């Protein structure tokens, strides 16, 4: 997850690893993303689910039979054929410019009532994220999945904030835990449209972030009936949408 380098003055430093991952479905190359290696099967499955491409259960997901590095092949039925350009993503922005409210509505139903969570607990969730990679490199984002009592159920780190979310959602899918109707997601950075999109498609009614949301993120959260909370730090949190779930 992190590699040593030597800084000026001979002091050893560690930086987050970033490498390409090719995602295949049934042997066909479908997407390439820049990510931090680790939990690649979760990333591939979570990405496909977030894009509304899975028509049924995932039969298997793993390295290609010839053990080609940085390639994961998913055995599953596609709900639709992606466009000819396919998806080529980056660690910074994901599938940039693709999301629109009407597009998300196709893949994400309006969210259920979900849990009611104490405001103080929402503010405290970022402090409960376990981020050993960030502690070493300062260069990784994190997404954590919590229950309504604030117990951390799963956390993943990655150079791409959307990849960290995909890994958590992919893990939940592989464990039979979707939709996330009674769960809370927390991210270590800002709240982009894409993160709200992925949380909505996963059925999660509450999303918390350390940073600020974008205008489109707030619009999408309101449209899908999500509780969106930002600037969760030092015991405080801003609630932008879905205040009915905040006690």
Confirm if 218 and 200 have CB atoms less than 8 A apart. Answer: no
CA distance 241 to 116: 14
Number of residues in the chain: 247
Strand order in the sheet with 236-241: 152-158, 141-147, 183-187, 206-209, 227-233, 236-241
Beta strands per DSSP E along the chain: 2-6, 12-16, 19-25, 28-35, 60-63, 71-75, 87-88, 141-147, 152-158, 183-187, 206-209, 227-233, 236-241
Q: Which residue among the candidates 93, 96, 154, 186 is catalytic per the annotation?
A: 93
As given in the structure block, the two tokens for residue 41 are 């099967």
Active site residue 186: no
Phi/psi at 237 (5° precision): -155, 140
Active site residues per annotation = 93
């Amino acid at each position: 997850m992190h590699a040593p380098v030597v800084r000026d003055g001979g002091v050893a430093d560690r930086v987050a690893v970033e490498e390409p991952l090719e995602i295949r479905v049934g042997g066909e190359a479908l997407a390439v993303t820049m990510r931090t290696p680790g939990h690649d099967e979760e990333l591939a499955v979570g990405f496909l689910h977030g894009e509304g491409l899975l028509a049924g259960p995932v039969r298997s997901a793993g390295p290609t039979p010839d053990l080609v590095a940085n390639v994961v092949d998913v055995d599953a039925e596609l709900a639709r054929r992606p466009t000819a350009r396919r998806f080529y993503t980056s660690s910074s922005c994901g599938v940039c410019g693709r999301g629109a409210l009407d597009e998300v509505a196709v893949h994400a139903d309006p969210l259920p009532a979900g849990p009611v969570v104490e405001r103080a607990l929402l503010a405290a969730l970022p402090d409960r994220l376990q981020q050993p990679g960030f502690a070493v490199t300062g260069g990784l984002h994190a997404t954590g999945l919590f229950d309504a009592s604030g117990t951390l159920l799963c956390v993943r780190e990655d150079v791409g904030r959307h990849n960290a979310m995909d890994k958590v959602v992919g893990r939940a899918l592989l464990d039979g835990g979707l939709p996330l109707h009674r769960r809370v997601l927390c991210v270590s950075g800002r709240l982009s449209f894409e993160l709200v999109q992925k949380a909505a498609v996963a059925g999660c009614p509450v999303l918390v972030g350390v940073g600020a949301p974008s205008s489109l993120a707030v619009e999408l959260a309101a449209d899908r009936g999500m509780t969106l909370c930002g600037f969760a730090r030092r015991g405080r949190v801003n609630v932008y949408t879905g205040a009915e779930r905040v006690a």
